Structure 1
Amino acid sequence: MVKTLLGVWALLLGIVLIMLGNGMHFTLIGLRGGIEGFSASELAVVTSGYFMGFLSGARYTPVLIRRVGHVRVFAALGSFMSAGLIAFPLLTEPWAWTLMRLLIGFCMSGIYVVAESWLNDASSNETRGTVLSAYMIAQTLGIIGAQGLLTLGDAGTSVLFIGASILVSISFAPILLSASPVPAAEVTRPMPLRALFTGSPLGTVGIFLLGSVYATQSGMGAVFGTQIGLSATQIALFVAMLFAGALLLQVPIGWLSDRMDRRRLIFASAALGAAACAAGWAIGDNLWLLIAAAFLAGGVTTPLYALLLAYTNDFLSVEDMPAASGGLVFTFGLGAITGPLVAGWAMQTTGPFAFWLVLGATFGLIALYALYRMTQREAGSVEDTESYLSVLPSASPVAVEAAGVWSAEQGETEDAPDRDG
């Protein structure tokens, strides 16, 4: 494993630096938006703009790569993203921020496609699981670390935006200096939503609703903290906890995923998320209880994403997995665009604690739909399920496809002794 990671350490370092810059800017939007007097609904539109750009980038970056190659696309997107981060404090208007978030979302998605293509090319069937897991850990650590960097400056100035831009700019050095060009990224055309829903209703509906949860947490968490009067340091800690929980809960949920009916685990995880959100709504502005609620609510989100992907793959052939992965990423993106808009409207109408109500209700819908699906389809054999692999909701179709193929290969490997016997 050590030898495998040494071969991709530069790529992983670059990803950590990118996530430090991107994670800073996500929280900065809420902090600076509050200082500028933006309303919750305006910041919700700004948040949704990022995910609109992200969805577009996942679709069109492979086209750009086929035309001019990985290195040029990577450098161009990095330059635009770095420029966009610096531009935020120069024009503090909601419409301008929405356009810049569209640009940054597109660039970030494209950067993921390129980086994940390099990582996938640098790994073999035997090492792909290790490489993907390390990649997901690097992303999560970058996001969490970014919140700590926010305490080093004042969101009312340009310093933190400049810092985020610098981090993104220097992140490309280790990646571009170590990665060699690889064949053009081939992202399979997404499976139509009707076919995806027919194959796995729970996977499709659950991924859509989870997209709403993830975008609301990552985009509106800082807005919630600002509106209830938390300090910048407290907001950074609150947002960090939304992501830190996944590092702890991913392992036990993944272990259980390979040993029980995944629908029951989806129900239990979503119910835990709903309960944590209900607690967050009920406990008021007690900081440490809010942090505990964020830890649990955010902690089940990433495992739920991987769980829903694994459950969907259980009902697909290996040949259909790439197209289904693209369809699921697209469905997740639609939910991510919708979620902040609903949360922003609710927070604008009824107050900041509607943040928890919207999250809790969405988790509740996932749990209820999982219960319903248990009555519509017999549980499959645990031995026939695909292996679980941690995949972050921010991953592009490249990583999701690679994870699906790895899971199928692992399942075939594990079944081989039984067939031989």
Structure 2
Amino acid sequence: MQDFTTCRKSGGIFVPVAGLTVFAIASGYLMSLVPLSLTNFKIDSSYASWLASIYYIGLLIGSMMIEPIIAKIGHRVAFITFLGLLAATVAVLPMFPNKEVWLFARLIAGMAVAGIFVVVESWLLIGDNAKERAKRLGFYMTSLYGGTTVGQLAVGMFGVKGFIPFIVILVLLLIAILPPLFVKQGQPSSDSHQVLSIKQIARLSKPAIIGCMTSGVVMGSIYGLMPLALKQSALTTDQVGVLMAATILGGMVIQPVISKLSIKMSKTLLLALMSLLGVFAMGITYLSSDYVVLITALALLGMSAFALYPIAITLACDNLDSSYIVAATQVMLFSYSVGSALGPIGANSFMAEQNGIMDFFFIVLLATAIYMLVASLHRKPQVLAS
């Protein structure tokens, strides 16, 4: 309870949310910039899927290393450190335009972003009841997706050629460091975190783990390959930016609804319904290739894909003591990262076909919906013993 009280003081919400919002703008722009700028730096576009996958492999590796760092240096200093590390990887990309350096830089970037996610998620999720956690996660996801939406629009504003886009992203990341750098109050105490044992991890909600993994598969493919897939459909760079923004805007709009529904109904059933929404969205793309229809379909896909992670992570944290939150968010991020690393590789095999990436999303989300529907019928209360 002391941790939660400390976190609620002035700066407790402002620092992670403000820093995350600016980070999200930079990240949203960077995610589209990397695959779209490959040819400008004379790197084969076929490396887009590998750059996406190695970033998520970095996320995977990072997700296993964060908890001890936070316990040692605290949330605020960890936040500054990981943002600074990510900024360094961005500076490297245009200075050394070859595939080996880019692959290594994106690996390190993934590790840095894993740290940012675990820091902010655990900072906001340390609360004493499920309602408070859902509310805080709503702030987190809205800030994340709102910022990312703005970042996607930067593709049309600043373009994808030359050094300017990377300078813009670098400046944004440096701005994101300012809140935790100057506001020193409000971070959770780092002296009461507990590590989950293998036995305890095994007792975490299986639908929560699967939900995080599916979210990683879909979102990793959206960020890593969707811009390229849309570009191959003879769409302009501006149209690609709008469609990516529509996808993420859909994810942002659904967050307040998810926060309320996750308290009132079974989260496992809610995961099934959100997966089915994605299946419906992909079905629309088979009926028409009209640009407005595509915007609508991708907005619905965004609602589906971006809803899975917050529902799953709150499901995982149900009935957990605050001292386990950092460890639990690390486990969920690990699951998300496994999906994120595998997703672009799996989706890449569909890229040769027209609307292939839409087929991939349809299959993944339909399988997830079926699993969640079955799991909701056999739902057992989560028990976490020492």
- What does residue 133 of structure 1 align with? 138
In structure 2, what is the equivalent of residue 340 of structure 1?
Answer: 344
How far off is 1:206 after superposition? 3.2
Which amino acid in structure 2 is aligned with residue 49 of structure 1?
I
Aligned partner of 2:274: which letter?
A: S
Contact 1:118/1:179 (<8 A) preserved: no
Displacement of 1:264 after TM fit?
3.5
**1:300-343 deviation digits (Å, cap 9, x = unpaired):** 222222333344556x6658964554433222211111101111
Which one of 273, 289, 311 corresponds to residue 307 of structure 1? Answer: 311
Match of 1:142 in 2: 147
Do the aligned partners of residues 9 and 162 (structure 1) sit closer, same or farther apart at CA in structure 2, a change above 3 Å counting?
same
Q: Structure 2-normalised TM-score? A: 0.82
Shift of 1:156: 1.7
Query: Are 1:99 and 2:104 an aligned pair?
Result: yes
Q: Give, in whole Å, the separation in 2 of the partners of 1:245 and 1:312.
A: 24
Identical pairs, percent: 21
Q: Distance in 1 between matches of 2:234 and 2:28?
A: 21
**Residue deviations 1:74-131, cap 9 Å, x none?**
444333322211222233333322211111121222234445566568x887976655
Aligned length: 374
Q: How much has 1:220 moved relative to structure 2?
A: 1.7
1:328 to 326, 332, 341: 332
Between stretches 124-133 and 161-170, larger displacement belongs to 124-133
CA contact (8 A) 1:114 1:185 kept: no
Root-mean-square deviation (Å): 3.5
Structure 2 matches for 1:78-89, cutoff 5 A? 78-89=83-94
Distance 1:40 1:342, change over 3 A: farther
Q: Which residue in 2 is equivalent to 1:414?
A: none
What does residue 371 of structure 2 align with? 369
Please name the residue that 1:293 is paired with.
Answer: 297
Match of 1:355 in 2: 357
Which amino acid counterpart does residue 253 of structure 2 have in structure 1? L
1:20-419 to 2 correspondences below 5 Å: 20-33=25-38, 35=40, 41-67=46-72, 73-115=78-120, 130-180=135-185, 183-184=189-190, 188-190=194-196, 192=198, 196=201, 200-284=205-289, 286-312=290-316, 318=321, 322=325, 324-347=328-351, 350-351=352-353, 353-374=355-376, 377=378
**Partner residue, 2:14:** 9
1:26 deviates by: 0.5
- Alpha-carbon shift at residue 271 of structure 1 (Å): 1.4
SS in 2 for 1:346: coil
Matched letter for residue 267 of structure 1: A
Contact 1:70 1:114 in 2 (8 A): yes
> How has the CA–CA distance of structure 1 residues 209 and 320 changed in structure 2, closer, same or farther, with 3 Å as cutoff?
farther
Partners of 2:61 and 2:111 within 8 A in 1: yes
Q: Is the 8 A contact 1:43 1:94 kept in 2?
A: no
Q: 1:334 to 1:134 in 2, by over 3 A?
A: same
